[in-house]
């Protein structure tokens, strides 16, 4: 019986949302394997740290950004996924506003950059598979948990929320049905203020009712769009 020799790593899929576009944060690798290629930020877990500490550390070291909460996605462990040997990776993901962060590559990352998910470079290791799983999880998440509080302006027209959901889903939503369902959740407060965006008729502004919003995030919803 051969001696087990498995290393543990973490990867961080960070999605960014702004004005109808979804991007993903990637790093250009400084060292082999895949030197000079793009990859999802990540690295090996140290002996004395938790998985959560490891993914936050690796993300900060390679991109310069700190995210307080990354959600665990999936475990990737095919024997040939890393040419350096047997490496099992725990992947995490988050959805943020890119303009809230200043990225800066360091340690074993030569460069850090946001890429539109429809214009991605070739990725290292099995990171295409990891990214695909993260996109599917994100789109599934919309159906059972309200999203948007951290991604939209404090006050926004309803059309911005509609655009957010249609962008994340990758398809148009039924506008009338969507509005009816969102209003029915009671997570929005309609304000006595108008939007100055665009050239059309000014629309009423909304803001999230934080108490109700976080209560629903905690409880979960069944929300077919």
- Name the average pLDDT for the chain: 93
Start and end residues for every CATH 1.10.10.10 domain found in the chain: 156-219
Tokens of 206: 């909304």
Specify the CATH class of 156-219 in words: mainly alpha
- 195-214, pLDDT tens digit by residue? 877 667 788 999 999 999 99
In this predicted structure, what is the pLDDT of residue 196? 75
The position carrying tokens 């303009």 is 99
- Residue 31 pLDDT grade (very low, low, confident, very high; cuts 50, 70, 90): very high
Pairing of strands 42-44, 7-18: antiparallel
215's CB contacts (< 8 A; 6+ apart) are: none
Q: Report yes or no: 114 and 38 within 8 Å, Cβ to Cβ.
A: no
- Per residue in 49-79, pLDDT (tens digit) is 999 999 999 999 999 999 988 999 999 999 9
Q: Which helix (H) or strand (E) holds 132?
A: helix 127-141
Q: Which two tokens stand for residue 209?
A: 């009712």
Looking at the predicted structure, is the pLDDT value of residue 170 above 70? yes
Q: Which two tokens stand for residue 174?
A: 């039924």
108 token code pair: 């074993």
Torsion over CA of 30, 90, 216 and 101, rounded to 10 degrees?
Answer: -10
- Whole-model pTM? 0.92
Say what the pLDDT of residue 198 is.
63
- What's the CATH architecture for 7-141? Alpha-Beta Complex (3.90)
Residues forming CATH 3.90.79.10 domain(s) in the chain: 7-141
């Amino acid at each position: 019986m051969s001696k087990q020799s498995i290393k543990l790593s973490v990867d961080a899929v960070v999605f960014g949302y702004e004005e109808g576009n979804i991007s993903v944060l990637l790093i250009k690798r400084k060292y082999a394997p895949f030197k000079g290629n793009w990859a999802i930020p990540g690295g090996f877990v140290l002996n004395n740290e938790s998985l959560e500490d490891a993914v936050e550390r690796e993300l900060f070291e390679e991109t310069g950004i700190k995210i307080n909460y990354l959600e665990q996605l999936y475990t990737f462990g095919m024997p040939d996924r890393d040419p350096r040997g047997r490496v099992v990776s725990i992947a995490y993901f988050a959805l943020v506003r890119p303009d809230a962060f200043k990225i800066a590559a360091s340690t074993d990352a030569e460069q850090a950059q946001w890429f539109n998910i429809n214009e991605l470079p070739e990725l290292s290791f099995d990171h295409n598979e990891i990214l695909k799983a993260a996109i599917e999880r994100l789109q599934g998440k919309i159906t059972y948990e309200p999203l948007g509080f951290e991604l939209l302006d404090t006050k926004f027209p309803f059309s911005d929320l509609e655009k957010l959901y249609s962008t994340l889903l990758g398809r148009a939503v039924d506008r009338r049905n969507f509005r009816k369902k969102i209003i029915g959740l009671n997570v929005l407060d309609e304000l006595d203020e108008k939007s100055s965006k665009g050239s059309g008729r000014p629309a009423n502004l909304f803001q999230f009712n934080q108490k109700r919003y976080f209560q629903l995030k905690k409880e979960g919803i069944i929300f077919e769009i």
